[in-house]
Amino acid sequence: MKMRPGGPMIGPWPNISFGWRPSAVESLDRCRLPPKGSFEFVWLGIEVIQNLKPSSTMLTGAMILPVLMTLTFPSSSCEDEEPKLNAGLFNCVCEGMSCGGVDQCVGQQCFASLSINDGHPVYQKGCFQVYEQSKLTCKTPPSADQTVECCHGNLCNMNITAQLPPKDKSQQGTALSYSVRTLAIVVIAPVIVLIVVSMVTVLILRKFHQNQMQRLNAREVEYGAIDGLIASNVGDSTLADLLDHSCTSGSGSGLPFLIQRTVARQITLVECVGKGRFGEVWRGQWQGENVAVKIFSSRDEKSWFRETEIYNSVLLRNENILGFIASDMTSRNSSTQLWLITHYHEAGSLYDYLQHTTLDAVGCLRVSLSIASGLTHLHTEIIGTQGKVAIAHRDLKSKNILVKENGQCCIADLGLAVMHSQCTNHLDVGNNSRVGTKRYMAPEVLDETIQVNLFDSYRRVDIWAFGLVLWEVARRTVSNGIVEDYKPPFYDLVPNDPGFDDMKKVICVDQQRPNIPNRWFSDPTLTSLAKVMKECWYHNPSARLTALRIRKTLTKIDNSFDKLKMDC
């Protein structure tokens, strides 16, 4: 396309002119139109269109209308524009393809521009004829591929060379380097900190483990237990021997940790003898002796941990507390199992025993007195080097009491137990969220009035449950040839699996208690036991008997019965 000198510029600013003087019609004195009628303005508009240039005949009717509107309604800024148009014209240097061989042009403002065309810089210089054009172009901020610099004065653009702003590229590189550096710091710093913390933790754990092993080795070497255990053949070393020669003092405290793990790995499971919500109970064998292996389910891990903690930290040597041997976390059948190894009692739980066995007065007193003795041992704190803290069971029931070969009983399952020391006045409740058996819950537990920060409150809860167990035993005691079938407490008042609200209504609202059969009052032993039960079932916890008082009362009843037999 051919351009006349000073014609429109080819490039990013198509309306920039290079020295093109407007014709008389183009200037038109637009802002000083004569005060003629609208009709004359229309003809004047047509005259303007005809005088533009020959190629303007291509204008359509649609293009004529805006021109006429402009002529009829002049711009409100015309009065301000007139002085700016005539304020002064300057000679400007004209360089570039659009200058048509002319080196100067005349306009209201001079400029120098630089644009990037197909990757090559294109430098141009010229002038602006229209004020709005210069104002718009000169105030346009530079971009990455074009820029323009404007000035006022004759030949003011002669020494001006437009420059593209370099800061975009540098800022991009700076931002890129900054983002990479920041990303590296954000990623690497936590990794380094984690590695350092992990190394410190591993070193501390290794040091702790070494100290523990040294302490255990020193203790085991002193007592010669490890060598005797590893080298022994079947029958050479019994559990009783190990317990007697261990550094602990009794069946309740079990064996030292290292021996516990060794014993657990030498046990062979023989048969499953019971299942419950906690897991399973197996009869196992170690060195030819029967042991009970209680395998906890994964959801009852806290009970296993709590029972292990109590057995290993408290000296529980007592014939009426289930003898603890070992505890271990082992892997069987590609799964982790939590083992608690105790003495094995073939008769099973008191619950199972009473289902198919009846008792006479002697057997009833033997069972009752042994349970009371075990509960007294738990509740009593023994101060001294061979002492123990006071313990409340919190889940006493016939299923958690085992029957021994001699007819006595021992208390098991300390997974919910609470410990208390008078010396430090510290109450250790543990963190097990499991609650006791609802059927055996005391009124203060059901109506949530129990004082959870008072250790005596937990002991009194055990006394309530003991009274219910005593009722179960008495029902299976024969007197005058009569005996009732085994039934759990409140069997006639609540469903087989009672809910919390069921028990609360029966015990707290209706204040019901287990029924005492009339035949008991014809037997002196059962009459005395019925009196003890009632004193265990007081709604007011502080009015209930203590375990020690119950044991003394039962001992007195037992002695009276022996004296009566001797007199007969």
Q: Are strands 418-421 and 426-428 parallel, antiparallel or unpaired?
A: antiparallel
Is the alpha carbon torsion for 68, 74, 75, 80 positive or negative? positive
CA-to-CA distance for 457 and 464, rounded, in angstroms?
11
**Side-chain-facing half-sphere of 526: CA atoms under 13 Å:** 23
Exposure letters 506-525 (e unless 16+ CB within 10 A, then b): bbbeeeebbebeeebeebeb
- Taking the alpha carbons at both ends of the chain, their separation in whole angstroms is 144
Question: If 0-12 CB within 10 Å is exposed, 13-18 middle and 19+ buried, where does residue 561 land?
Answer: middle
The Cβ of residue 16 has, within 10 Å, a number of other Cβ atoms equal to: 25
CA-to-CA distance for 300 and 413, rounded, in angstroms?
12
Which residues, in sequence order, are CB contacts of 132 under 8 Å at separation 6+?
A: 81
**Percent helix / strand / coil, the chain, rounded to 5:** 45, 20, 35
The Cβ of residue 312 has, within 10 Å, a number of other Cβ atoms equal to: 18
* Helices and strands of the chain, counted as H and E runs: 17, 15
Cβ atoms 375, 399 nearer than 8 A: no
Give the SS3 label for residue 315: coil
- Please check if 294 is assigned to a binding site: yes
Torsion of CA 557, 558, 563, 564, to 10 degrees: 70
Question: If 0-12 CB within 10 Å is exposed, 13-18 middle and 19+ buried, where does residue 178 land?
Answer: exposed
Cβ atoms 247, 309 nearer than 8 A: no
Which amino acid is present at 34?
Answer: P
Cβ atoms 137, 127 nearer than 8 A: no
CA-to-CA distance for 131 and 108, rounded, in angstroms?
7
Beta bridge partners of 337: 330
Q: Which of 328, 395, 462, 558 is catalytic?
A: 395
**Known catalytic membership, residue 395:** yes
DSSP secondary structure letters along 326-395: EEEEEEETTEEEEEEEEE--TT-BHHHHHHH--B-HHHHHHHHHHHHHHHHHHHS-B-STT-B-EEE-S-
Fill in the DSSP letter of residue 479.
Answer: B
Beta bridge partners of 477: 359
CA-to-CA distance for 192 and 137, rounded, in angstroms?
55
Q: Provide the annotated active-site residues.
A: 395
Q: Binding site: residue ranges?
A: 294
Enumerate the known binding-site residues for ATP.
294
